[in-house]
Amino acid sequence: MSRPEDIEDLTQEAYIKAYAAEQERSIEQPKSYLFRVAKHLALNELTKKSEQMTDYLEDRIASIPVDGGNDVEDEIEAQQSLTLYYQAVAALPKRCRRVFLLRKVNGMRHQEIADQLGITVSAVEKHLRKGTKHCRGFIDRANARDGAVSASQQSLTDNGGIQ
């Protein structure tokens, strides 16, 4: 919801849905109902955009340039590290993943995330801690299975992911 047109579209859709519901049955608290409809529509849009971001990240993993030399091994290692990190994020519970991506990918502040998702700042912080812990554990377990921890994979876990 970064463009004014998106907000106008969501507002119009919320009014249409509320009006249609009013035609089917009597709504005792119309203002409250309208806000609830708008909140659900906004959350659905956020979910769709979050899934688009996840799909975009997956599509771009293979095309990410590696800083430094042209060493093929370094490039492969970096791609494998990013793939592993993507898998760790994808395995997060839906709400936790949404909060984690809004912070790590979109760079949103905790208060902004809380406002957008209709949760408390404390809940945002809880989801971020849970997401970071999960990603570290996921990568550590994968590295234990593979038998080695690469420098770039260790960097991802040390920093809690993409900054």
Task: Average pLDDT across each block of 10 residues of the chain; the chain has 163 residues. List them in order.
Answer: 73 89 90 88 77 62 54 76 85 91 85 91 91 88 71 50 46
Sign of CA dihedral 149, 152, 155, 161: negative
What pLDDT score was predicted for residue 163? Answer: 42
Count other C-beta atoms under 10 Å from residue 128's C-beta: 20
What pLDDT score was predicted for residue 143? Answer: 82
**In 91-120, which ranges are continuous DSSP H helix?**
94-104, 110-117
Q: Residue 66: which of 143, 152, 149 has the closest Cα?
A: 152
Q: Is 23 exposed, middle or buried (0-12, 13-18, 19+ CB in 10 A)?
A: exposed
8 DSSP assignment: H
pLDDT in tens, 118-127: 999 899 999 9
What pLDDT score was predicted for residue 4? Answer: 74
What pLDDT score was predicted for residue 126? Answer: 93
What pLDDT score was predicted for residue 135? Answer: 87
What pLDDT score was predicted for residue 64? Answer: 55
